[in-house]
Amino acid sequence: MPDFVGAVDQGTTSTRFMIFDHGGNEIGRHQLEHEQILPRAGWVEHNPVEIWERTRAVIETALARAGLTASDLAALGITNQRETTVVWNRRTGRPYHNAIVWQDTRTDRIASALDRDGRGDVIRRRAGLPPATYFSGGKIQWILENVDGVRQAAEAGDAIFGNTDTWLLWHLTGGIDGGVHVTDPTNASRTMLMDLETLDWDDELLSFFGIPRSMLPSIKPSSHPGLYGTTRPGGPLGGEVPLSGDLGDQQAATVGQVCFEVGEAKNTYGTGNFLLLNTGTELVRSQNGLLTTVCYRFGEDAPVYALEGSIAVTGSAVQWLRDQLGIISGAAQSEALARQVEDNGGVYFVPAFSGLFAPYWRSDARGAVVGLSRFNNNAHLARATLEAICYQSRDVVEAMREDSGVTLDVLRVDGGVTANDLCMQIQADVLGVPVSRPVVAETTALGAAYAAGLAVGFWKSTDELKQNWNEGRRWEPTWSEEQRAEGYAGWKKAVQRTLDWVD
């Protein structure tokens, strides 16, 4: 058995390739950004061809730098930004349109129409999701309705859909020369098209969006001993490697954080925040604005489910301070700026740029800064931005407690924003619960590697994976109960203002 496992992490802002050893330690990596295409207010696109080119490049460079070849890899896993929708022609390999990204709100009308005649409740019950612009179903419908020739091609079986996992698996296994058209249940559970109990596409749900079944990939286990396929010798790996792991990025991070027991949760702080709580083989239906989603399915075992709180804007609010306001020159500087003040000086910032996701699900909400006085400055705004990341997470933790009865005794965290020490301290303060970050903070890629490695026997069991998890850093709460309650009450009032604005 070769000594390493590789993982492609196709994220919202960049694509990375990482190589891990048996202990889950990083051996090599390379990462490249891709363009964020913003054609109009509320629209966000990526070029799928650029994403495939970046994927090739990061694989080639990381392997070359580590001095490794395909024969050193026991398996390859993929993890991806979820929901982002690609429709392409299986004969030519050409996409019909740019990828429509998960944050894109162009399908607002499609999503809100679903609730007018009861279809929304069928989606909630069967797919575990509230109708929203976020998920793939409406995005596929938009492409079918707005791009010439796609519907006919779809009906003829030539136009096919995939999230970016499917797009990359198709390319890695040969593309127009016999590439496989597959996905896993975690990605499929983000489309509004899959029945959570049968783990299959559902004809009634497909009919709501007018999507022909022939467009859809087949759904295979997230960790697939039968393999999705093997990489082509002519591809970026330069040899044949078993492709055996596929997980949506947030589920991959849950696996990378070894949250295999019921009641274990992790929160990932990237462009947005995603808190997932493992609910085991039980499907818990949220009464409080959370999503029910597949957490993973390993081989022929029963699927494991999760409750998820998705927050659209967290790290991207920090990018907004940098790119739109220009008050910091890099994301890390948000910490130094926020440290110039003791507290938020009465300022709350609700960054509802793409509406509000969990637990509110209001696509129409827009951002607000409230509580300003003449005394406030850039530092207060930076502090309010970091607090907004933490308060949005608290909203989700509260909803989870109500839905599941689970009270967290520690929150496992990962993602780009966790480099911000002040933000993590505020998180512990706002929740009143310790926050813990593992040594290997690249849990998303690690989770995809775990899924791939388990399938080929590189790792024998989830118990073996648990041995690999080690705490790197811990933040303990320091606020009094009174401070915590007062701060949170201010946040709730601020959120109400963003909703009042559009009511």
351 binds ligand ADP (CB under 6 A): no
Q: How far is CA 295 from CA 228, 248, 431, in A?
A: 19, 9, 24
Beta carbon of residue 148, minimum distance to ligand ADP (angstroms, whole number): 33
Asked if 244 contacts 320 with a C-beta cutoff of 8 angstroms, the reply is: no
**Contacts with ligand ADP: how many residues (CB under 6 A)?**
19
Binding flags for ligand ADP, 236-275, as an x/- string (CB under 6 A): ----------------------------------xx----
Beta carbon of residue 269, minimum distance to ligand ADP (angstroms, whole number): 7
* Nearest alpha carbon to residue 192 among 93, 264, 110: 110
Beta carbon of residue 84, minimum distance to ligand ADP (angstroms, whole number): 12
Binding flags for ligand ADP, 301-330, as an x/- string (CB under 6 A): --------------xx-xx-----------
Listed in sequence order, the DSSP H helices in 174-232 are 185-188, 203-209
* Nearest alpha carbon to residue 159 among 86, 92, 88: 88
Report the residue number, 85 or 404, with the smaller CB distance to ligand ADP.
Answer: 85
**Bridge partner residues of 269 (DSSP):** 273
Report the residue number, 420 or 498, with the smaller CB distance to ligand ADP.
Answer: 420
Q: Which of 217, 415, 453, 487 binds ligand ADP (CB under 6 A)?
A: 415
Report the residue number, 81 or 231, with the smaller CB distance to ligand ADP.
Answer: 81
Report the residue number, 136 or 173, with the smaller CB distance to ligand ADP.
Answer: 136
* Nearest alpha carbon to residue 18 among 66, 70, 62, 65: 62
State the SS3 of 225-262: CCCCEECCCCCCCCCCCEEEEEEEHHHHHHHHCCCCCC
Among the residue ranges 6-14, 40-48, 62-70, 172-180, the one whose residues contact ligand ADP (CB under 6 A): 6-14
36 binds ligand ADP (CB under 6 A): no
CA–CA separation, 414 and 420 (whole Å)? 11
Q: Indicate the burial class of 407 (C-beta count within 10 angstroms; 0-12, 13-18, 19 or more).
A: exposed
Q: Indicate the burial class of 366 (C-beta count within 10 angstroms; 0-12, 13-18, 19 or more).
A: middle
CA–CA separation, 382 and 326 (whole Å)? 12
Beta carbon of residue 371, minimum distance to ligand ADP (angstroms, whole number): 22
Q: Which of 13, 47, 377, 378 binds ligand ADP (CB under 6 A)?
A: 13
Q: At what angle do helices 164-172 and 48-66 cross, to 10 degrees?
A: 60
Beta carbon of residue 276, minimum distance to ligand ADP (angstroms, whole number): 15
Structure tokens, 27 = 């051996």
Structure tokens, 25 = 């330690």
Binding flags for ligand ADP, 359-398, as an x/- string (CB under 6 A): ----------------------------------------
**CA 363 to chain CA mean position, Å:** 18
Beta carbon of residue 190, minimum distance to ligand ADP (angstroms, whole number): 15
Beta carbon of residue 50, minimum distance to ligand ADP (angstroms, whole number): 15
332 binds ligand ADP (CB under 6 A): yes
In sequence order, what are the residues at sequence separation of 6 or more whose Cβ sits closer than 8 angstroms to the Cβ of residue 273?
267, 309, 310, 311, 314, 389, 392, 393, 396, 415
Among the residue ranges 301-309, 368-376, 414-422, 489-497, the one whose residues contact ligand ADP (CB under 6 A): 414-422
Residue with the CB atom nearest ligand ADP in the bound state: 416
Read out DSSP for 133-170? TTSHHHHHHHHHHHSTTHHHHHHTT-EEEE-HHHHHHH
Report the residue number, 336 or 502, with the smaller CB distance to ligand ADP.
Answer: 336
Beta carbon of residue 205, minimum distance to ligand ADP (angstroms, whole number): 28
32 binds ligand ADP (CB under 6 A): no
Q: How many CA atoms lie within 13 A of 440 on its CB side?
A: 28
Asked if 277 contacts 257 with a C-beta cutoff of 8 angstroms, the reply is: no
Q: Which of 7, 8, 10, 12 binds ligand ADP (CB under 6 A)?
A: 12
Structure tokens, 199 = 């783990």
Q: Which of residues 79-138 bind ligand ADP (CB under 6 A)?
A: none
Beta carbon of residue 291, minimum distance to ligand ADP (angstroms, whole number): 18
Report the residue number, 120 or 270, with the smaller CB distance to ligand ADP.
Answer: 270
> Which spans of this chain sit near ligand ADP (rule: CB under 6 A)?
11-14, 270-271, 315-316, 318-319, 331-332, 334-335, 415-417, 419-420
